[in-house]
């Protein structure tokens, strides 16, 4: 079987990769285990130096890596270059902070000496998606490697070029041979990899069904999982919000990465008294966005990842309109090659429509009207997802209280769109998954938090 990278802007095959056999995969995992056994005793200073070199290479090669991302999955080039730079940031964060985060923590008890120490657990499998093909991997790899673990990557089939480039990046930075390896395999081999006794834990970013399948298999073997899954992020807009600032943030959050992000702004829930003005401003800003080949111009949107995903999104839009949503903008598949879909705005969206109930993984904004603040919050929480959420109001004290205690999500922002930051924990609740990435909480996920008690 082969894996294909296909340029979503024109449908042309970029490269074909032969899938590794089960024996080849097992051999790589064995070699990663050998590398881990040596790496786990290394000093933080050695790990940090390598991670800082990786950060430097990411910045040096950002144009090269950006072009590769844009070519394989259609991300606008400027956003792809920014992604490479953000990966450098996460490498630097853990290079500079891992040793202090993982330093033994003394605890006063009736013992002569008692403390908690943090030890690596072994080789961790990462099952990663195509939408942020470098960032999703580096935000896992930097803390995992700095903690003293080994890592194997099963990347999305359509971004094998990115997967192999990341493996080479770490090799060039001086990481021990085989400590981080890419498995060129399809989804059908993941179960066998999880069954390998060398694999001690699994992290997955992807769809809720994929997360359920991986969690079920890993759970049957008592292997830990961290899951970052889908989202239907609500943005609550209160009557006193600064609408110019709010709409700017909402549209930026909706269209980043051509709307293909788990934490993209997906449902705009606006109180009725400002509905008309909000709709007008959203329509005005969304109409101004440009779409085209990400490698040939400075467009706001590139193509979606593939035609099948584009067509699925269009079906969700069409079904929402059939159920009573108003189509204010877009909603028409372009008569041109590639997996393009225009900026689209749906109004009068209510529960029971795909635009409310499902994740729309593309450049479609759904406007939902609430009678008042209480109903807006209730509608925001009326979802099976719980990854990100935001609230917009000039009363920042009220906004903070809503974000901190009333919105049901793992990441809640006030007067800004949701995004990840190496210094802050990232993850969701409900069908958006469990566990956390980034910050100190992310590095704790794949260590043995060990109690030591000395009488």
Which tens digits make up the pLDDT trace of 311-355? 999 999 999 999 999 999 999 999 999 999 999 999 999 999 999
User: Tokens in use for 1?
Assistant: 């079987």
Q: Which of 162, 262, 411, 412 is catalytic?
A: 262
pLDDT for the residue numbered 227 = 98
Measured distance CA(137)–CA(135) in Å, rounded = 5
Rounded to an integer, what is the distance from CA 262 to the centroid of its chain? 6
pLDDT for the residue numbered 65 = 98
Measured distance CA(128)–CA(133) in Å, rounded = 8
Average pLDDT, the chain: 98
Which tens digits make up the pLDDT trace of 311-322? 999 999 999 999
Q: Which fold has domain 233-414?
A: Aldehyde Dehydrogenase; Chain A, domain 2 (3.40.309)
Average pLDDT over residues 160-188: 98
Measured distance CA(36)–CA(11) in Å, rounded = 40
Q: Which of 83, 167, 228, 408 is catalytic?
A: 228
Q: Are 181 and 163 in contact (CB under 8 A)?
A: no
Q: Are 263 and 388 in contact (CB under 8 A)?
A: yes
pLDDT higher than threshold 90 for residue 296: no
Q: State residue 228 phi and psi, 5-degree precision.
A: -120, 110
DSSP for 19-66 reads PPPHHHHHHHHHHHHHHHHHHTTS-HHHHHHHHHHHHHHHHHTHHHHH
pLDDT for the residue numbered 262 = 95
Beta strands 265-271; 364-370: pairing state:
parallel
Cβ of 27: how many Cβ atoms within 10 Å?
Answer: 12
pLDDT bucket at 300, cuts 50 / 70 / 90: very high
Question: Active-site residue 228, yes or no?
Answer: yes
Q: How many residues does the chain have?
A: 455
The sign of the CA dihedral 217, 220, 225, 231 is: positive
Share of the chain above pLDDT 90, in %: 99
Average pLDDT over residues 58-86: 98
pLDDT higher than threshold 90 for residue 124: yes
Question: Active-site residue 262, yes or no?
Answer: yes
Could you tell me what percentage of the chain is helix, strand and coil, using 3-state DSSP and rounding each to the nearest 5?
45, 20, 35
Measured distance CA(353)–CA(363) in Å, rounded = 17
Cβ of 246: how many Cβ atoms within 10 Å?
Answer: 25
pLDDT bucket at 1, cuts 50 / 70 / 90: confident
Query: Class for domain 2-229+430-454, per CATH?
Result: alpha beta
Measured distance CA(364)–CA(258) in Å, rounded = 9
Nearby residues of 424 by Cβ (< 8 Å), 6 or more positions away: 411, 438, 439
Place of tokens 């993209």: 264
User: What residue ranges do the domains of the chain occupy?
Assistant: 2-229+430-454, 233-414
- Region of 270 (left: φ > 0; alpha: ψ -120 to 50; beta: rest) is beta
pLDDT for the residue numbered 297 = 78
Please tell me the number of Cα atoms within 13 Å of 236 on its side-chain side: 32
pLDDT for the residue numbered 83 = 98
Task: Say what angle helices 44-60 and 77-101 make with each other, to 10 degrees.
Answer: 170
Which tens digits make up the pLDDT trace of 28-45? 999 999 999 999 999 999
User: Tokens in use for 398?
Assistant: 């009220």
Place of tokens 């395999």: 185
């Amino acid at each position: 079987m082969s894996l294909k990278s296909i340029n979503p802007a024109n449908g042309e095959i970029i490269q074909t990769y032969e899938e590794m056999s089960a024996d080849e995969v097992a051999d790589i995992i064995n070699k990663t285990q050998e590398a881990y056994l040596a790496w786990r005793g290394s000093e933080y200073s050695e790990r940090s130096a390598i991670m800082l070199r990786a950060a430097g290479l990411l910045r040096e090669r950002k144009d090269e890596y950006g072009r590769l991302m844009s070519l394989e999955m259609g991300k606008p080039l400027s956003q792809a270059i920014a992604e490479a730079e953000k990966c450098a940031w996460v490498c630097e964060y853990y290079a500079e902070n891992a040793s202090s985060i993982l330093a033994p923590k003394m605890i006063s008890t009736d013992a002569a000496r008692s403390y908690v120490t943090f030890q690596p657990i072994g080789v961790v499998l990462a099952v990663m998606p195509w939408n942020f093909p470098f960032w999703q991997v580096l935000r896992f790899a930097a803390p995992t490697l700095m903690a003293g673990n080994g890592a194997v990557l099963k990347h999305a089939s359509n971004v094998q070029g990115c997967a192999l480039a990341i493996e080479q990046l770490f090799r060039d930075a001086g990481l021990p041979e085989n400590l981080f390896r890419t498995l060129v395999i399809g989804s059908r081999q993941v179960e066998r990899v999880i069954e390998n006794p060398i694999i001690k834990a699994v992290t997955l970013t992807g769809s809720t069904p994929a997360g359920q399948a991986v969690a079920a298999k890993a759970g049957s073997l008592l292997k830990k999982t961290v899951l970052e899954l889908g989202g239907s992020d609500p943005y609550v807009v209160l009557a006193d919000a600064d609408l110019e600032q709010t709409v700017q943030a909402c549209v930026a959050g909706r269209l980043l990465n051509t709307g293909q992000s788990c934490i993209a702004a997906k449902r705009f829930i606006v109180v009725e008294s400002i509905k008309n003005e909000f709709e007008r401003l959203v329509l005005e800003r969304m109409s101004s966005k440009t779409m085209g080949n990400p490698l040939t111009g400075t467009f706001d949107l590139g193509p979606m990842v593939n035609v099948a995903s584009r067509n699925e999104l269009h079906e969700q839009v069409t079904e929402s309109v059939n159920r009573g949503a108003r189509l204010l903008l877009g909603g028409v598949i372009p008569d041109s090659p590639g997996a393009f879909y225009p900026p689209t705005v749906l109004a009068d969206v209510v529960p029971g429509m795909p635009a409310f109930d499902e994740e729309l993984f593309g450049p479609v904004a759904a406007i939902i009207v609430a009678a008042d603040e209480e109903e807006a919050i209730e509608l925001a929480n009326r979802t099976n997802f719980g990854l990100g959420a935001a609230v917009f109001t000039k009363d920042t004290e009220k906004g903070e209280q809503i974000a901190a205690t009333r919105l049901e999500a793992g990441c809640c922002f006030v007067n800004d769109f949701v995004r990840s930051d190496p210094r802050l924990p990232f993850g969701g609740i409900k069908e958006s998954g469990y566990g956390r990435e980034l910050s100190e909480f992310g590095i704790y996920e794949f260590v043995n938090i060990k109690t030591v008690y000395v009488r």
